[in-house]
Structure formats: C-alpha cells, structure tokens
Structure 1
Amino acid sequence: MKVEIKNEMIPLITEFVAELPLVRKHSRHRRELIKMLSEQYKKVDEQRIEIVKDYCEKDDKGKPIMKGETVQIPDENMKKYLEDVAELKNEVYVIEGGNSRELIRTMRTILLKFEDQEYQGKDSTTYDYLCEQFKVDENEEDE
C-alpha cells in the first residue's frame, strides 16, 4: 500500500485537508498527514532555494544579487533554472506501508465520506487528485 504525491500538490493538499470537518481518529490522521507533507515541503523549498543559488547572479563574494525582494537569474540561465524547478515540482513524495498503512486506510475513508460534497476550482482538482493517489475507487484486495 503506497501513495505518491507530487511535490507541487503538497500545499494544495495540506490546505484542502486542513479545512475538512473531522473528529477523533480522522482528525488525528489528518494532522499526521499534514505534518508529513509539511516536512516534505520544507525540504522541497530548501532544494528550490539551492536551485536559485545555482543559477542566480552573484556578487564578487559569491552572494546572490537581489533587486528588491527577488534574486536575479540571468537570461542565459533561465531555461535550465525553469527545467530544474519543474523537475523538482514533479518529483513524488511516497507514503508507504508500515506505520503509514493505517493513515492511508483512514484517508481513503475520509475521502469517501466527502464523495457527495460539491467542489469547485482548486478544491475539485485537489479532491480528484487525492482520490486518484489514495486509490479510493479500488478495493484494498486489488493491491
């Protein structure tokens, strides 16, 4: 039993599940999922900062040159920078078996519980993505 979540979906998922009205076990597993995803996204953000440092303009001391609040990336580095960031966003975070088995089962139950709810915009996309990743429409015996 495993779930793969793209790094770029982590903020949307975290925000979506945080808003669900849950109690007891469901709420505990939601908090656990949010904690796992938040820790992963912190690592992703640190990696993104390192990518920025690799491609940005630097002063004579090797420090990034800032214009206001933004780091400057030269045009000749922009294509590679964007490719590296896209690659990072598309990498997946895997939640797998072991201690996560019950979390995965509980998340499936939670998603099924909200199956008849109407969603719009990013909530709709996020809910559909979660159902796909947690294999809500599959039987557990299929795994």
Structure 2
Amino acid sequence: MKIKIKNKELVNVEQFLGNLTMKGKQSIARSRMLQILEKKQKEFAEDRKSIVIAYAEKDDKGEAIVKEDGTYELSTKGNAEASKEIADLLEEDAVIDYGEYSSRLNDLEKFIIEFDDEVSGNVAQGFFVLVTAFENKEEK
C-alpha cells in the first residue's frame, strides 16, 4: 500500500503528528512516519536546490555563483523560471510506500481515522491531509 502527500503539505502533516500524544505501538508507528516524512522533506530540499542551481548564474568554470549569504546568484529571468519549477515541485506528490512498515503504518492509520480531538491552524491542515491520504491510499 502507499499514500500520497503533496510536497507542500509535508510540514503540516509532520506538525500534526508531532503534536499527538500516543503510547506503545501507535507511538512507534508515528515515529516511523515522522522518519519517513523527514526523508521526503530532504528529497524535496535536494530537488529544490537542484532547480535553483540549474538556473543560477555561472562563473567562468561553469559553477553556480554563491553569494556571501549562501544563496545562489540568479538573474531576474532565472529567478522567475526557478520559482515556476519550484511551484510545480511543491504540487508534486511525495509517495509513501508502506513496504516493510505495513503493520506499523496500519496502526497509525487506524489511530488517525479514529482521532477525535480538537486541532486548529496548520495542525488541522496536516490532520486533514493525512486523513485524506489514508482514505485515498492505493492498494498494490
């Protein structure tokens, strides 16, 4: 089984899960999901960096120019094109395959579907995204 969460929602889902009070195997399942989400966020960050580097101004050796503040030098056109590609990347799905964690993630899914506590703001958005992802999970 696998679920899909848009890259732009990964942080909200992580915030929601991080705010839950759980015990036992449900807590272990949450910790496993948080590890997976962290990995997906790192993948997103790497992809984002690759896009920025692709559109960055280059030095005479063909390497991206890095400013003193650690950001890349971008022309107005390069910045606009990189921003468009990053916006597209934010809309892409991060696919979380249950794989070897199937029993753990099933425990988490059951907890989340039955969750009946108050949430608000970005935490509520993370809850909504996760419930929707579980409801639309793909069976292999």
Q: C-alpha separation between the residues in 2 aligned to 1:112 and 1:124? A: 14
Shift of 1:7: 1.6
1:2–1:96 contact (8 Å) kept in structure 2: yes
Q: Which residue of 2 aligns with 1:119?
A: 119
Shift of 1:97: 4.8
What RMSD, in angstroms, separates the aligned Cα atoms of the two structures?
A: 2.4
The answer to whether residue 131 in structure 2 is matched with residue 131 in structure 1 is yes
Q: Which residue of 2 aligns with 1:14?
A: 14
Q: TM-score scaled by structure 2?
A: 0.83
AA matched with 2:47 = Q
Q: C-alpha separation between the residues in 2 aligned to 1:112 and 1:5? A: 16
AA matched with 1:6 = K
Q: C-alpha separation between the residues in 1 aligned to 2:118 and 2:67? A: 44
Q: Which residue of 1 aligns with 2:43?
A: 43
1:55–1:77 contact (8 Å) kept in structure 2: yes
2:33–2:105 contact (8 Å) kept in structure 1: no
AA matched with 2:58 = K
Question: Where in structure 2 are there 5+ consecutive unaligned residues?
Answer: none
Shift of 1:80: 1.7
Question: Where in structure 1 are there 5+ consecutive unaligned residues?
Answer: none
AA matched with 1:20 = L
Per-residue CA shift, 1:27-82, capped at 9, x if unaligned?
11111111111112112211111111111123323232315343232111223211
Q: TM-score scaled by structure 1?
A: 0.82
Higher relative contact order (CA 8 A, sep 6+): 2
1:57–1:64 contact (8 Å) kept in structure 2: yes
AA matched with 2:20 = L
Equivalent residue pairs, number: 138
Q: C-alpha separation between the residues in 2 aligned to 1:78 and 1:97? A: 37
Q: C-alpha separation between the residues in 2 aligned to 1:123 and 1:96? A: 23
1:104–1:134 contact (8 Å) kept in structure 2: no
Q: C-alpha separation between the residues in 1 aligned to 2:99 and 2:33? A: 14
Q: Classify 1:68/1:95 alpha carbon distance in 2 versus 1 (closer, same or farther; 3 Å).
A: closer
Q: Which residue of 2 aligns with 1:71?
A: 72
Per-residue CA shift, 1:80-121, capped at 9, x if unaligned?
211211222222122235424323321222213432x12211
